[in-house]
Structure 1
Amino acid sequence: MTFDQEAVLRAYARSAEDGHTALTELDQRSGDGDFGDNLRGGLRAAVARFDEGGTSAFGALGSVFLDEVGGTSGPLLGLLFSEIARALDGSDDPVAAFADGARAGLEAIQRVGEAQVGDRTLVDALSPAVDAAPSGLAAAARAASDGARHTAELRARMGRASYVGERAVGEPDPGAVGIAMLFRSAAAVAEPDVDVPALV
């Protein structure tokens, strides 16, 4: 098993390009429709920052999403990426470090936003992924996808989607889908022989 954070960044950026239209349409039902643009734009900027040198792949992700990406989820994703970057720095077991960083990121997001599983937010994908990560990143990716898929059944209790009520029910939360895309990208690098179907 190998794990290269640069490869994860580039895989995640490709998935955001491929899923941009679907993410935008999902967010139009539950928010202001900017999530696809924010995720794709943030990942493009992070790739560019990484290519300039002087930072790790997840360090670039963390700084870009904290400093440059707007919307409700931009800073929250920045916290997640920054915690993953911190865990990966100098680690000789990057798969375990990625999982540890994701757990720290979940804790940071919940401290700031107070969302819990069942509130129809990115936490609904991130929390089960973190719980499944000790079994491998493919297991974490499947758990994230299942969690994101389940948000289609939930009425939002947090974030912008809470203002639109039943209108968002029936389709998954875009932030949760974005988390599933991250873990699917990580799994594709760490366990390339295991297929995790894409949500979008």
Structure 2
Amino acid sequence: MFDQESVLRRFAQVVEDAHGELTRLDQRSGDGDFGDNLRGGVREAVARFDAGGSSAFGALGEVFLDEVGGTSGPLLGLLFTELAHALDREAEPVAAFRAGAAAGLAAIQRVGEAQVGDRTLVDALAPAVEALESGGFATAAKAAAEGAARTGELRARMGRASYVGERVKGEPDPGAVGIALLFWAVATVAEPDADLPSPLG
């Protein structure tokens, strides 16, 4: 069963577990702060949720839009905010997540201008959105993980990673991995019988 609080806490735990790897990946392609930014933002969102007044995804949206730096912080904030709005409007979880993720993808592409193939979080989010059109959360999680893995073969065309060229080949984009972790958290809560390996392998 989909439950926002359970998803938030599962996401927080997997981000804690992935912190070192996310940091290592970002050190190869960027400032090396993505792991800290994602972990710090999710920790703060959990604290804000526990204090009351915000839904789980509402808290994520507020924190990442207002308090998390880096390139990915505000972009993730757009996604979380659109998911929060959709989950407030739509009772059926898959339909709500599909609408929210699609709106989040559109907002991210409008602001950041990244397209599939640019080696960004869009490479994991876009296939997950597409998978939600015909499948459930586990299908979307697999699509996000596969999209994140494919970024290891792409040359970055956006952001700081675009300056390091071939040095990042073979390693996935940390932002895309972060998206894959989100969808993994959702799927393992909503569809606990699904056999889903971690996007980190």
TM superposition score normalised by structure 2: 0.97
Q: Structure 1 vs Structure 2: percent identity of aligned residues? A: 74
Tell me by how many angstroms 1:21 deviates.
0.3
C-alpha separation in 2, matches of 1:108 and 1:187: 23
| Superposed CA offset, 1:118-164 (max 9, x none) | 00000000000000013001000000000000000001000110011
1:96-135 equivalences under 5 Å are: 96-134=95-133, 135=135
Separation in 1, partners of 2:148, 2:127: 10
CA distance in 1, matches of 2:118, 2:29: 13
* Structure-2 residue corresponding to 1:54: 53
Residue 17, structure 1, aligned to residue 19, structure 2: no
Query: Aligned partners of 1:11, 1:156: CA distance in 2, in Å?
Result: 30
SS of 1:118's equivalent in the other structure is: coil
Aligned to 1:86: 85
Gaps of 5+ in 2: none
Matches within 5 A, 1:1-200: 2-134=1-133, 135-200=135-200
- Contact residue 29 and residue 164 of structure 2 kept, 8 A: yes
Counterpart Cα distance in 2 of 1:85 and 1:41 = 20
SS at match of 1:64: helix
Opposite residue 195 of structure 2, the aligned amino acid is D
Runs of 4+ in 1 over 3 A off after TM superposition: none
Cα-to-partner distance string for 1:38-82 (whole Å, 9 max, x where unaligned): 000000000000000011000000000000000000000000000
Deviates most, 85-94 or 177-186: 85-94
Q: Report the alpha carbon displacement of residue 172 of structure 1 after superposing the two structures with TM.
A: 0.1
Q: How far does residue 91 in structure 1 lie from its aligned partner after superposition?
A: 2.4
Find the aligned partners of 2:153 and 2:105 in 1 and give their Cα distance: 22
Letter of the structure 2 residue corresponding to residue 95 of structure 1: V
Aligned length: 199
- Matched residues in 2 for 1:137 and 1:144: separation? 10
Q: Which residue type is aligned with residue 117 of structure 1?
A: V
Contact between 1:95 and 1:190, CA under 8 Å: does it hold in 2? no
Deviations 1:79-109 (A, max 9, x none): 0000000000142212210121001000000
SS at match of 1:33: coil
The residue type paired with residue 46 of structure 1 is A
Deviates more, 1:152-161 or 1:83-92: 83-92
Give the TM-score normalised by the residue count of structure 1.
Answer: 0.98
Runs of at least 5 residues in structure 1 that lack an aligned partner in the other structure: none
